[in-house]
Amino acid sequence: MVLRNFKQLLNRIEKQNSQRIAVAMAQDADILQALDAAHSAGLADAVLVGSKPKIEKIAQTNSIPLERYEIVHSESEEESVARAVELVRSGEAQVLMKGLCSTAKFLKGILNKEHGLRASSLLSHLAVFESPNYHKLLFMSDAAMNIAPDLNEKIAITQNALNALHALHYKKPKVAMISAVEKVNPQAMPSTADAALIAKMAERGQIKNALIDGPLALDNALSARANEIKGLKSVVGGSADLCVVPNIETGNVFYKLLTILGNALVAGVILGASVPVVLTSRADSDNSKFLSIATALAISGQE
């Protein structure tokens, strides 16, 4: 079943058991507000890793109760990430969340060969948007982790996202392999060739339970009218559930345009780790951070 909005996603998880989230660098007002909302909704409690004085000050300024949380004091970003990851590895928390630290440092902590949380060959980021201008939730990968994925990495990114969509009960998600045009032009625009190959793999059943088309420009992916005008027949048909973008720059601009100029609500998670991982941009709102927690829980399906 296709999810129209985040409300439907939240309905899915309202009966799940509450999870404990380990937050790396929790000294952030939006993070604490988001955790408060998750706690009030019965979804999760948390262990806050980071500067204890800063966490306490922020909580006091914003009237956020802290009694319900354990605080693990830690000074540096690296140490906070390592301690939060360790809390998850030891089973004291079931979800990991990025707080006020750099994405690269957070991801390096997850990827650490000895002490990290790798569970599959490639980890990737998945963003989810509820836009006032689109008729259902729109998923997009990868805006935050894989910088310049090659063909094999794009296949893995697509498969990770499909696994997440299947976990959310989508039977055959419509996937658009995004480029700038819909014509395959291997020499001038190699991303068009990668897109076409992945679409062909899906057509031949090498990637299962998905309708994949590409290359598609974004208007072909999202607008039936654009397809009509261009005379393009596509299984995605201007109604993509998932856009797979060719590189991190495209993904990052996609994400920020939708949130800053498009008034979209957004959630962000990392896929392929041994536990659900919540990863938002530091400037995202408290609601976005709450929705990201909800999305991570829904995908991990702790029903």
Residues making contact with ligand COD (CB under 6 A): 103-104, 107-108, 111, 122-123, 144-147, 252, 281
Task: State whether residue 166 is helix, strand or coil.
Answer: helix
* Nearest by Cα to 79 from 24, 26, 31, 21: 24
Compute how many other C-beta atoms are within 10 angstroms of the C-beta atom of residue 102.
Answer: 13
* Residue 302 CB, nearest approach to ligand COD (Å): 24
Query: Please, which residue, 12 or 108, has the CB nearer to ligand COD?
Result: 108
Classify burial at 68, counting beta carbons within 10 Å of its beta carbon; exposed 0-12, middle 13-18, buried 19 or more. exposed
* Residue 238 CB, nearest approach to ligand COD (Å): 28
CA separation (Å) from 206 to 20, 167, 203, 216?
A: 37, 19, 8, 20
Query: Please, which residue, 103 or 163, has the CB nearer to ligand COD?
Result: 103
Query: Please, which residue, 111 or 257, has the CB nearer to ligand COD?
Result: 111
Query: Please, which residue, 60 or 152, has the CB nearer to ligand COD?
Result: 152
Q: What are phi and psi of 12, to 5 degrees?
A: -60, -30
* Residue 241 CB, nearest approach to ligand COD (Å): 22
Query: Please, which residue, 100 or 123, has the CB nearer to ligand COD?
Result: 123
Cα separation of the two ends of the chain? 17
